[in-house]
A and B are shown apart, each in its own frame.
Chain A
Amino acid sequence: MSRGLARSEEELTGEEVTVLRESLAPRWRDVFLQHLHHTKGGLYKRPFTESFEQAPLYVAVLTYMGFGVVTLFGYFRDFLRAWGFEKCNLAQEREEQKDFVPLYQDFENFYTRNLYMRVRDNWNRPICSLPGPQFDLMERVSDDYNWTFRHTGKVIDGVINMGSYNYLGFAENDPTFLTSVEESNEKYGSGVCSTRQEMGNLDIHEELEKLVATFLGVESAMTFGMGFATNAMNIPALVGKGCLILSDELNHTSLVLGARLSGSTIRVFKHNNMQSLEKLLRDAVVHGQPRSHRPWKKILIIVEGIYSMEGSIVRLPEIIALKKKYKAYLYLDEAHSIGAVGPTGRGVVEFFELDPRDIDVLMGTFTKSFGSSGGYIAGKKELVDFLRLHSHSAVYATSMSPPVAEQILRSMKCIMGLDGTTIGIQRVRRLAENTRYFRQRLNEMGFIIYGHEESPVVPLLLFMPGKVGAFAREMLKRKIGVVVVGFPATPITEARARFCVSAAHTTPMLDKVLNALDELGDHLVLKYSRHTRSSRPELYDETSFEMDD
């Protein structure tokens, strides 16, 4: 019986369920069982396997100790700087303005000066090529412990890119693919110099919006020039004073900003926790607004499709059930999920086999899967028409650059197969396979990785602050570019590396990364997982992982 990794979307049989359950480690089994009844109850069409394994206690203790040590050293070095024993490299206020109220409080910079500065070389690494599966980095060195960088002029070429959100590999510069983009650049130029409501509504924007609506299977769509601003500038048009926003605690900053700018009351529920959400919904409907107890005008639930730091997938079927029961509205941000999950790349809605019309506001970005820039909002015609009149972006912000719009048109047509090829759908499948392969291998090696087994965002837990810098540097030495994030972007004990799997990654590339990780995992002692390794490792050795594309 051939059971390759690429076990695709079909349902599991009863026997397979038993086999799978037996093979799972205790914690995984709980997660699995928890969702089995949903599978049977019909909310979930297939098992929903997500894992957030806890680190051993000693790891947490050591992590806190690590922070303690750097903080102590930070105070010590601040003392040295204050007394002039150590040179202070921070930019200084000019003489004329010394008696102004200081622009920054001293403590605001403590973290920058003493912690971030030690590992600063692992972020903002400048690249000088296409951000494809492999890219070239500009080599830079620091002569003053990361305060300033000097470019040596040398290029580190052929670094495997595990950081860019290039899920479907549409960040490409193959001229045969880019002809239409080149033409639109020639025809329109790169800017627009006006807003949508004024003189910046080009025919190409109209075409794009029609295509986006068709792609998502909804009545209407509107596009915006920047993904961040799509959230920040449209949520205030939808809700306002007297409305309630229920927001997942891990929502992206743009959603948080949009919610805040709207003036609504904001309540936060625990990440992907339906009990927490239901409790808030129930309280909100029953008790109404605080003090006045007037009923809320509307309740808007804001969630993301795939959470970019956790790799978790939203429990959409449950949320839709809740939203229907409590008559709330649902705003779904598919920044990372559109194109990246679902059998034909239509995002989490398709992933769960749901009806897109059940979601009131579908939002997403073109930055990731489509290799372009900007964002969209889609839904019912009346919603989009309302936004055309009231969106801050439509009135005040310059419209999307025509070649950028053309790139979206091109890649979306490719995914839909409108270009007459099967390249798009092959890439969607390839991404799903790469994801499963990569996650499964990491699990076998004994790393703690977070998130849903089909999410292309793969966070690998490093925990200790000292390992963050070491990990990123060692990986770069092996010509692999990774993204690392630590406190305060994550909880203090959960520093992590984040990999974004792409359809453009070939199996040898992934194997190279995996081998490097295996080696480094032993070297830096990163294999924290206490779960039993897979009971069927030999299967993966047998699997030949070839795709015909």
Chain B
Amino acid sequence: MVQIFRFMPNTRTNVFCACATSDAMTLAPADAGQQQDGVRATVGVSGDGASLLRGILILWIIRLLFSKTYKLQDSSDLTEKEIEEIIEEWQPEPLVPRMSKEKPAPSYNIVSGPPCHKITVNGKQCINFASFNFLGLLDNDRVKNQALQSLRKYGVGTCGPRGFYGTFDVHLELEDRLAKFMRTEEAIIYSYGFATIASAIPAYSKRGDIVFVDEAACFSIQKGLQASRSHIKYFRHNDMEDLERILKQQELEDQKNPRKARVTRRFIVVEGLYMNTGAICPLPELVKLKYKYKVRIFLEESLSFGVLGQHGRGVTEHFGVNIDDIDLISANMENSLASVGGFCCGRSFVIDHQVFALLAQKAISDYVLIVILSQGYCFSASLPPMLASAAIEALNIMEEDQGLKVVGESISPAFHLQLEQSSGSRESDVRILNRIVEYCMDRKIALTQAHYLEKEEKFLPPPSIRVVVTVEQTEEELEMAANLIKEAAQNILQ
């Protein structure tokens, strides 16, 4: 029995394994797709034809054995000297383009001192219209004090990622508080705002999945999409018809290939308040489209968190959309909360995935160049505890209600002030509101409660102070009135 293994390093590796026996011969190409001259397995052919074939095959094998092997690279027949010459000749581009002489080196504005309301830029005192310190919490003494307490206890750095002793009790508290504040099941924090959505998107959306994105999406979303390697489809900024058109198109494509459609995840990625345009996304329409076309929604709320909605819960609260209808909300804590870092929140089903990512990520492993799941969470040092504490205190301040809530559109000249929490009965609510009215009257601001015929009204509105704004009131008077009402509420409702 003769057995010949012949490796022929062609441009693609074909491994032919030829076994020759005395009375039957088998020629089995190991790679069936690569048969070159149509020789197929021949088993047990008898007679003259068989011996002829046998002869041809043996000759062919001998030819294979002695023929010149193909080279993997055509050009590796270069001599050593030629190679050295090529290496000598090759000149790479400079690592960074040379700066032209005319264009001076970049200079940043230098802010000396805190970047708060009054700011010193390049030595000039200015009023700050540039920082995202929406709620003025950067300069807040309570926040600073809380950060200081935390600093004294924990030091500055965490010296580790979350998995390896980088999880502090303050991190858990902050996550818990954020989840409660946003009224979601779970929240997780990241140590860098930019990395939040940029890590969250590739944690869910993989190669082959489809993401529908608004054209005006911010840079960190763009980077997240790039990292996800999914199929990206852009729709015109805030144009729901365009989005529906693309979704329909996709639906038609899906019908052609239902098997593929069954495993293709789909996501819409939008911003609550667009960083690049300042526009609000039409969330209710998006939710309708979500259920119609079975697409999940990821919402980036870095600008809208702490700004939109009665309590600052963002665009979901602004539109009164059920937050469970949004699959994932991400926001940073670097604008309204004036700290550092970001968070993702949503249902446990969605969020747990990022926490488990520690291993799931590694299932694909660092060793191959595939990056999935939430790397920003698992592979980076966790948020310094003092910054987490600052964020907690900022949340505390955001959550402290004034006791009164404004009911009515912002453009309505007449609106209502209702009690945030009823004191128990209508009578006592009326009594409390009356004390606020009197407090203001004493200080020369005339207010009135809205009066109703309580028995006759079909649906009796809750007790309220109705405020009417007119053209005659000046800016100062408006401001004075607003401050007085705030003061009254603080004094009477505490």
Residues of A whose CB lies within 8 Å of any CB of B are 90-94, 96-97, 99-105, 108-109, 111-112, 116, 123-132, 135, 138, 161, 163-166, 170-173, 175, 178, 181-182, 185-194, 196-203, 206, 225-229, 232-233, 238, 247, 249-254, 256-257, 259-261, 266, 268, 282-283, 285-287, 295-300, 325-329, 360-361, 365-368, 370-373, 381-383, 385-389, 392-393, 395-398, 400-401, 403-404, 407, 481, 483, 488-489, 491
- Choose one: A94, A127, A268, A397; the contact of B347 (CB below 8 Å): A94
Which residues of the other chain, A, contact B291 by a CB distance below 8 angstroms?
Answer: 96
Which residues of the other chain, A, contact B376 by a CB distance below 8 angstroms?
Answer: 228-229
In the bound assembly, the distance between CA atoms of A79 and B424 in angstroms comes to: 53
In the bound assembly, the distance between CA atoms of A188 and B144 in angstroms comes to: 9
- Choose one: A93, A297, A396; the contact of B93 (CB below 8 Å): A297
In the bound assembly, the distance between CA atoms of A205 and B136 in angstroms comes to: 22
B39 interface contact, C-beta 8 A: no
Which residues of the other chain, B, contact A367 by a CB distance below 8 angstroms?
Answer: 157-159, 381
Residues of B whose CB lies within 8 Å of any CB of A are 73, 75, 78, 83, 86-87, 90-93, 95-99, 105-106, 108-116, 119, 121, 128, 130-133, 137-140, 143-144, 147-148, 151-160, 162-169, 171-172, 191-195, 204, 218-220, 223, 226-227, 261-266, 291, 294, 296, 324, 332, 334-335, 337-340, 347-350, 352-353, 355-356, 358-367, 369, 371, 375-376, 379-381, 383-384, 386-387, 390
Find out whether the CB atom of A287 lies under 8 angstroms from the CB atom of B227. no
Of the candidates A203, A299, A397, the one having the most CB atoms from chain B within 10 angstroms of its own CB is: A397
Known: A193-B133, A228-B376, A401-B384. A202 touches B93 (CB 8 A): no
Which residues of the other chain, A, contact B109 by a CB distance below 8 angstroms?
Answer: 199, 201
- Choose one: A126, A135, A172, A190; the contact of B144 (CB below 8 Å): A190
Find out whether the CB atom of B219 lies under 8 angstroms from the CB atom of A404. no
The 6 A-B pairs at the shortest CB distance, nearest first, are namely A228-B380, A226-B192, A199-B130, A386-B96, A164-B159, A397-B194
B323 to chain A, nearest CB (A): 12
13 more A-B residue pairs beyond the given contacts A129-B153, A383-B95, with a C-beta to C-beta distance below 8 A: A125-B165, A131-B165, A164-B165, A193-B131, A194-B115, A196-B108, A202-B110, A226-B191, A253-B361, A283-B73, A296-B92, A372-B157, A483-B165
- Choose one: A99, A123, A253, A297; the contact of B164 (CB below 8 Å): A123
Find out whether the CB atom of B147 lies under 8 angstroms from the CB atom of A403. yes
Known: A181-B151, A388-B106. A100 touches B296 (CB 8 A): yes
Find out whether the CB atom of A327 lies under 8 angstroms from the CB atom of B96. no
A485 to chain B, nearest CB (A): 8
Which residues of the other chain, B, contact A328 by a CB distance below 8 angstroms?
Answer: 92
Which residues of the other chain, A, contact B78 by a CB distance below 8 angstroms?
Answer: 286
Which residues of the other chain, A, contact B261 by a CB distance below 8 angstroms?
Answer: 101
Q: Which residue of B lies closest to A126 (CB)?
A: B167
Which residues of the other chain, B, contact A194 by a CB distance below 8 angstroms?
Answer: 115, 130-132
B203 to chain A, nearest CB (A): 10
A465 to chain B, nearest CB (A): 12
In the bound assembly, the distance between CA atoms of A202 and B78 in angstroms comes to: 57
A8 to chain B, nearest CB (A): 26
Which residues of the other chain, B, contact A103 by a CB distance below 8 angstroms?
Answer: 204, 265, 296, 349-350, 353
- Choose one: A166, A198, A393; the contact of B130 (CB below 8 Å): A198
- Choose one: A173, A250, A401, A488; the contact of B362 (CB below 8 Å): A488
Find out whether the CB atom of B148 lies under 8 angstroms from the CB atom of A186. yes
Find out whether the CB atom of A488 lies under 8 angstroms from the CB atom of B165. no
Find out whether the CB atom of B86 lies under 8 angstroms from the CB atom of A286. yes
Q: Which residue of A lies closest to B358 (CB)?
A: A123
Q: Which residue of B lies closest to A330 (CB)?
A: B95
- Choose one: A101, A126, A287, A300; the contact of B168 (CB below 8 Å): A126
Q: Which residue of B lies closest to A395 (CB)?
A: B219
Known: A91-B349, A192-B115, A298-B95. A201 touches B167 (CB 8 A): no
Known: A225-B192, A327-B90, A483-B164. A282 touches B83 (CB 8 A): yes
In the bound assembly, the distance between CA atoms of A396 and B114 in angstroms comes to: 20
- Choose one: B108, B356, B380; the contact of A197 (CB below 8 Å): B108
In the bound assembly, the distance between CA atoms of A407 and B172 in angstroms comes to: 24
Known: A123-B163, A286-B75, A371-B159. A187 touches B114 (CB 8 A): yes
In the bound assembly, the distance between CA atoms of A201 and B133 in angstroms comes to: 15
B90 to chain A, nearest CB (A): 5
Find out whether the CB atom of B339 lies under 8 angstroms from the CB atom of A282. no
In the bound assembly, the distance between CA atoms of A93 and B350 in angstroms comes to: 8
Q: Which residue of B lies closest to A136 (CB)?
A: B169
Q: Which residue of A lies closest to B97 (CB)?
A: A386
Q: Which residue of A lies closest to B325 (CB)?
A: A96
Q: Which residue of B lies closest to A100 (CB)?
A: B294
Find out whether the CB atom of B227 lies under 8 angstroms from the CB atom of A161. no
Of the candidates B192, B195, B339, the one having the most CB atoms from chain A within 10 angstroms of its own CB is: B192
- Choose one: B115, B266, B355; the contact of A199 (CB below 8 Å): B115
In the bound assembly, the distance between CA atoms of A300 and B90 in angstroms comes to: 15
In the bound assembly, the distance between CA atoms of A481 and B164 in angstroms comes to: 9
In the bound assembly, the distance between CA atoms of A192 and B281 in angstroms comes to: 27
In the bound assembly, the distance between CA atoms of A261 and B224 in angstroms comes to: 9
Find out whether the CB atom of B220 lies under 8 angstroms from the CB atom of A371. no
Known: A252-B379, A260-B227, A285-B90. A392 touches B155 (CB 8 A): no
A21 to chain B, nearest CB (A): 34
Find out whether the CB atom of A130 lies under 8 angstroms from the CB atom of B154. yes
In the bound assembly, the distance between CA atoms of A327 and B93 in angstroms comes to: 10
Which residues of the other chain, A, contact B162 by a CB distance below 8 angstroms?
Answer: 124
Which residues of the other chain, B, contact A252 by a CB distance below 8 angstroms?
Answer: 366, 379
In the bound assembly, the distance between CA atoms of A370 and B383 in angstroms comes to: 15
Find out whether the CB atom of A127 lies under 8 angstroms from the CB atom of B165. yes
Which residues of the other chain, A, contact B91 by a CB distance below 8 angstroms?
Answer: 327
In the bound assembly, the distance between CA atoms of A329 and B92 in angstroms comes to: 9
Find out whether the CB atom of A226 lies under 8 angstroms from the CB atom of B112. no
In the bound assembly, the distance between CA atoms of A182 and B148 in angstroms comes to: 7
- Choose one: A189, A329, A383; the contact of B338 (CB below 8 Å): A189
Of the candidates B73, B87, B130, B156, the one having the most CB atoms from chain A within 10 angstroms of its own CB is: B156
Known: A103-B204, A116-B356, A259-B369. A94 touches B349 (CB 8 A): yes
Find out whether the CB atom of A185 lies under 8 angstroms from the CB atom of B147. yes
Known: A286-B78, A371-B159. A227 touches B87 (CB 8 A): no
Which residues of the other chain, A, contact B324 by a CB distance below 8 angstroms?
Answer: 94
In the bound assembly, the distance between CA atoms of A481 and B115 in angstroms comes to: 40
Find out whether the CB atom of B359 lies under 8 angstroms from the CB atom of A116. yes
- Choose one: B132, B160, B194, B347; the contact of A233 (CB below 8 Å): B194
Find out whether the CB atom of B115 lies under 8 angstroms from the CB atom of A200. yes
Find out whether the CB atom of A203 lies under 8 angstroms from the CB atom of B338. no
- Choose one: B148, B156, B338, B363; the contact of A371 (CB below 8 Å): B156
In the bound assembly, the distance between CA atoms of A101 and B139 in angstroms comes to: 46
Q: Which residue of A lies closest to B328 (CB)?
A: A103
Find out whether the CB atom of A372 lies under 8 angstroms from the CB atom of B347. no
- Choose one: B83, B137, B168; the contact of A127 (CB below 8 Å): B168
In the bound assembly, the distance between CA atoms of A335 and B169 in angstroms comes to: 26
Cβ contacts A to B, 29 pairs, < 8 Å? A96-B291, A101-B261, A130-B153, A164-B159, A164-B160, A172-B155, A188-B113, A188-B115, A189-B138, A189-B144, A189-B390, A190-B138, A192-B334, A194-B130, A199-B128, A200-B111, A203-B111, A227-B380, A228-B380, A257-B371, A300-B95, A329-B92, A370-B157, A371-B157, A373-B381, A382-B98, A386-B96, A398-B340, A488-B365
In the bound assembly, the distance between CA atoms of A194 and B263 in angstroms comes to: 41
Known: A131-B165, A238-B95, A286-B78. A93 touches B349 (CB 8 A): yes
Known: A199-B128, A226-B380. A398 touches B334 (CB 8 A): yes
B123 to chain A, nearest CB (A): 11
- Choose one: B155, B223, B349; the contact of A92 (CB below 8 Å): B349
Known: A199-B121, A285-B87, A397-B193. A253 touches B111 (CB 8 A): no
Find out whether the CB atom of B164 lies under 8 angstroms from the CB atom of A171. no
In the bound assembly, the distance between CA atoms of A130 and B110 in angstroms comes to: 34
- Choose one: A91, A193, A489; the contact of B352 (CB below 8 Å): A91
Q: Which residue of A lies closest to B119 (CB)?
A: A199
In the bound assembly, the distance between CA atoms of A125 and B358 in angstroms comes to: 14
Find out whether the CB atom of A124 lies under 8 angstroms from the CB atom of B192. no
